[in-house]
């Protein structure tokens, strides 16, 4: 079935208006592009058509290439085209508008070449036209950051020729197109503009600076550098050469694993709140939430309160006594003041936001709230919103909504809506120790401690994990969260999963000597006053004592492992635990765990998330490696049934195994 099309109407003024019609965002599917090509060929043949306006149906010009398709577009000469832009014009959407001779937009247009968020580069001429319309520096910034700009800035830069009201958009564009047709306005062709381009020497400096910047955030990635190379080719050898380099590079990148992974993340992130079986498919609508009450003003509660008042929700914060309440309010003030210090918030906005907060010591005002969130340990009668304890809730992009048996489905649907409104990515999980993120990643530190007790170097393990793409290694992370949290979390898991907790004494030994992580300026690393971490030779004493207590002897085989193999030995147990979380029904779908791993633990998005990455390796290989390690080193590595079943059947980890399907059919699950 065709996915989208273009529609055309020719007015008595001789202007053909072509509408891109592929709701909801007018993505450029193959059907749309072929239809667009057909309409352009038709208007070039028609004598009653003097000029063309290209626009989108609904409130979107176009969100760019339909990222499940690949297409090509040819430039059209002969009759002037003007793009009439309302809403997003992103990726290929902006690119086809730059092929037009002019662009008219409404004030709420968003214009950007956002392809790098999918691991590709602009493929419809954007690497050549955007620099020539807005200058090299701004063009590189927009492409590297995948960050759209608003109409006003686009107009100042010359990307948009006029900004008009939505009601005047089409008529303005028609008039503009006719003016070009009647030679009252220039026939502009962005591809050959040069007035915005910097001098060759300055351009070379700008391009190299972009490469240096990209190395800081994209050390493991190729596509940002491929984009810069395509831009440079056009500057050095001319726009046609640049187009050729861009087209070849785009095709190669579009079929890469990185692109597939990033597209998977894009759709999975949107699916976390839309496809929750047994919850979002019941026709329940989110209740209107005008104000929220929070029980508990600790790190979690004050973070949630901060996120809510930043999104303009009035919040009632309840604590057990004046001291705790003031402490909670002070945490929230500090969270806001930090934004003021960083220039993200004005003093006026600070005052206005803080005025939304009311502190109470009883439940009297709870009678008038629409939503209550418990962020302490009082009960599971309410919907408990928790995220990884290592990061304040207003910073954490992930919101784990714990669907306890007593939490109403209505409350969950409403919290999903509130979660998105406070700019979080919500996932629904069932209740268990550590919910999804902390449970899945508990083995991250455990496996690392096991490797260290068997002779491996602490800093080599961290380096192997950061080379894999994790933001920080397990030991640097343990220093960051603090040994108190690490020990408390360890106790929780030991109580609930004793058969698969590795009992290392290393952290306890260090804690006895007041080595408790970054806060004490020494843990696995030593920290200077600016929190810069350096390896600390003093930990050797603790390592030797820990190895002695563990009765572990250094394994020569382990010490030969390269960094890629070390990362697998740390992360395959994480995959194993993720499979348990999925198999036990704690998580509703594998893609939710992908999003949880990325947004909750910084798992590299360009690998698609923990389960997507696991499926790129295959259940069979992961199972075989874990089984081999279990034979050699013990139960910590024992593959779970979810993994074993899929390995046996050669299924992806996200698939329902035959046994599971049969059990469900018998009502056993
Ligand atoms: C030719 C080359 O240059 C390559 C390209 O063009 S690559 C594509 C570049 N495009 C983008 O980066 C834009 C991606 N989309 C967005 O940023 C946002 O969707 C939006 C700003 C356009 C709209 O945001 P919002 O209003 O929040 O709505 P959603 O994000 O939820 O999107 C609504 C549904 O549309 C689907 N969708 C969005 N963009 C695309 C796309 N490019 N291709 C296919 N589908 C797209 C999205 O998944 C939502 O679908 P759902 O089923 O409703 O969940």
Whether the per-residue pLDDT at 343 is higher than 60: the answer is yes
**For atom 45 of ligand 1, which residue has the closest CA?**
66
Which of 3, 64, 69, 416 for mutating ligand 1's site (highest number of atoms within 8 Å of CB)?
A: 64
What is the distance in A from the centroid of ligand 1 to the CA of 425?
16
What is the distance in A from the centroid of ligand 1 to the CA of 64?
8
pLDDT score of 657: 65
**For atom 20 of ligand 1, which residue has the closest CA?**
63
Judge whether 40 and 34 are in contact, CB under 8 Å.
no
84/64 Cα distance (integer angstroms): 15
What is the distance in A from the centroid of ligand 1 to the CA of 632?
48
* Ligand 1 atom nearest residue 64's Cα: 6
* Ligand 1 atom nearest residue 274's Cα: 54
597-622 pLDDT, tens digit per residue, is: 999 999 999 999 999 999 999 999 99
Judge whether 51 and 24 are in contact, CB under 8 Å.
no
147/158 Cα distance (integer angstroms): 17
Angle value at C-alpha 391, between 385 and 396, nearest 5 degrees: 60
User: How far, in Å, are 192, 202, 218, 309 from residue 136 at the CA level?
Assistant: 14, 10, 20, 39
Place of tokens 């662009």: 103
Judge whether 417 and 313 are in contact, CB under 8 Å.
no
Among candidate residues 642, 639, 631, the one with its CA nearest the CA of residue 579: 642
637/543 Cα distance (integer angstroms): 22
pLDDT score of 96: 95
369-411 pLDDT, tens digit per residue, is: 998 888 875 433 333 334 344 568 888 889 889 888 888 899 8
Judge whether 70 and 252 are in contact, CB under 8 Å.
no
Question: DSSP letters along 444-478, please?
Answer: HHHHHHHHHHTT--HHHHHHHHHHHT-SS-HHHHH
Residue 215, classed as helix, strand or coil, is helix
206-242 pLDDT, tens digit per residue, is: 999 999 999 988 878 999 999 999 999 999 999 999 9
- 95 in catalytic set: yes
Query: What residues flank ligand 1, with Cβ below 6 Å?
Result: 24-25, 27, 63-67, 88, 90-92, 95, 114-115, 117-118, 120, 122-124, 126, 267, 270, 274
98/125 Cα distance (integer angstroms): 8
pLDDT band for 70, please (50, 70, 90 cuts).
very low
The upper half-sphere exposure of residue 476, i.e. CA atoms within 13 Å in the direction of its Cβ, equals 18
User: Of the residues 9, 41, 95, 156, which is catalytic?
Assistant: 95
Give the pair of three-digit tokens for residue 289.
Answer: 């939430």
What is the distance in A from the centroid of ligand 1 to the CA of 267?
9
pTM of the shown model: 0.89
End-to-end CA distance of the chain: 36
């Amino acid at each position: 079935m065709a996915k989208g099309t273009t529609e055309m109407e020719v007015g008595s003024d001789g202007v053909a208006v072509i509408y891109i019609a592929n709701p909801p965002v007018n993505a450029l599917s193959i059907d749309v592009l072929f239809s667009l090509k057909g309409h352009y060929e038709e208007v070039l043949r028609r004598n009653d058509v003097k000029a063309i306006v290209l626009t989108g149906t609904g409130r979107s010009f176009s969100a760019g290439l339909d990222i499940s398709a690949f297409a090509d577009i040819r430039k059209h000469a002969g009759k002037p085209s003007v793009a009439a832009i309302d809403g997003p014009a992103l990726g290929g959407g902006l690119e086809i508008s730059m092929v037009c001779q002019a662009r008219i937009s409404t004030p709420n247009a968003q214009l950007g070449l956002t392809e790098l968020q999918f691991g590709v580069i602009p493929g419809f001429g954007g690497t050549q036209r955007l620099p020539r319309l807005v200058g090299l520096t701004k063009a590189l910034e927009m492409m590297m950051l995948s960050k759209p700009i608003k109409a006003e800035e686009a107009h100042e830069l010359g990307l948009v020729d006029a900004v008009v009201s939505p009601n005047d958009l089409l008529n303005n564009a028609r008039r503009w197109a006719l003016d070009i047709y009647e030679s009252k306005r220039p026939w502009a062709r962005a591809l050959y503009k040069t007035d915005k381009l910097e001098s060759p020497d300055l351009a070379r400096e700008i391009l190299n600076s972009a490469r240096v910047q990209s190395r800081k955030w994209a050390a493991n990635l190729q596509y940002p550098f491929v984009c810069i190379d395509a831009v440079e080719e056009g500057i050095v050898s001319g726009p046609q050469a640049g187009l050729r380099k861009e087209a070849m590079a785009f095709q190669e990148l579009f079929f890469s694993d990185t692109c597939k992974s990033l597209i998977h993340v894009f759709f999975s992130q949107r699916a976390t709140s839309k496809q929750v079986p047994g919850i979002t498919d019941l026709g329940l609508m989110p209740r209107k939430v005008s104000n929220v009450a929070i029980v508990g003003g600790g790190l979690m509660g004050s973070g949630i309160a901060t996120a809510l008042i930043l999104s303009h929700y009035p919040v009632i914060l309840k604590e057990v006594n004046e001291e705790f309440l003031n402490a909670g309010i002070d945490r929230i003030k500090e969270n806001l003041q930090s934004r003021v210090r960083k220039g993200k918030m004005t003093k006026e906005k600070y005052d206005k936001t803080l005025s939304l907060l009311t502190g109470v010591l009883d439940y009297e005002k709870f009678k008038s709230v629409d939503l209550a969130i418990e962020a302490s340990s009082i009960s599971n009668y309410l919907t408990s919103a928790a995220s990884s304890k290592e990061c304040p809730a207003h910073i954490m992009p992930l919101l784990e909504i714990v669907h306890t048996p007593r939490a109403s489905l209505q409350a969950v649907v409403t919290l999903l809506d509130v979660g998105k409104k406070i700019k979080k990515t919500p996932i629904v999980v069932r209740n268990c120790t550590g919910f999804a993120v902390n449970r899945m990643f508990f083995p991250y530190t455990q496996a690392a401690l096991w490797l260290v007790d068997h002779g491996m170097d602490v800093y080599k393990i961290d380096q192997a994990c950061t080379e894999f793409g994790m933001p920080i290694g397990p030991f640097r992370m343990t220093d960051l969260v603090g040994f108190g949290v690490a020990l408390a979390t360890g106790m929780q898991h030991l109580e609930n999963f004793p058969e698969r907790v590795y009992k290392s004494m290393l952290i306890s030994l260090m804690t006895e000597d007041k080595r408790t992580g970054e806060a004490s300026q020494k843990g696995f690393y030593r920290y200077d006053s600016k929190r810069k971490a350096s390896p600390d030779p003093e930990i050797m004493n603790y390592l030797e004592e820990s190895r002695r207590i563990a009765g572990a002897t250094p394994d020569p085989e382990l010490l030969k492992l390269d960094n890629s193999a070390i990362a697998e030995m740390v992360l395959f147990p994480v995959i194993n635990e993720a499979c348990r979380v999925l198999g036990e029904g704690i998580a509703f779908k594998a893609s939710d765990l992908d999003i949880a791993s990325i947004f909750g633990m910084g798992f590299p998005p360009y690998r698609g998330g923990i389960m997507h990455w696991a499926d790129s390796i295959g259940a069979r290989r992961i199972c075989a490696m874990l089984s081999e390690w279990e034979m050699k080193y013990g139960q910590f590595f024992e593959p779970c049934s979810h993994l074993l079943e899929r390995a046996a059947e050669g299924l992806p980890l996200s698939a329902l195994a035959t046994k599971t399907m049969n059990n469900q059919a018998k009502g056993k699950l």
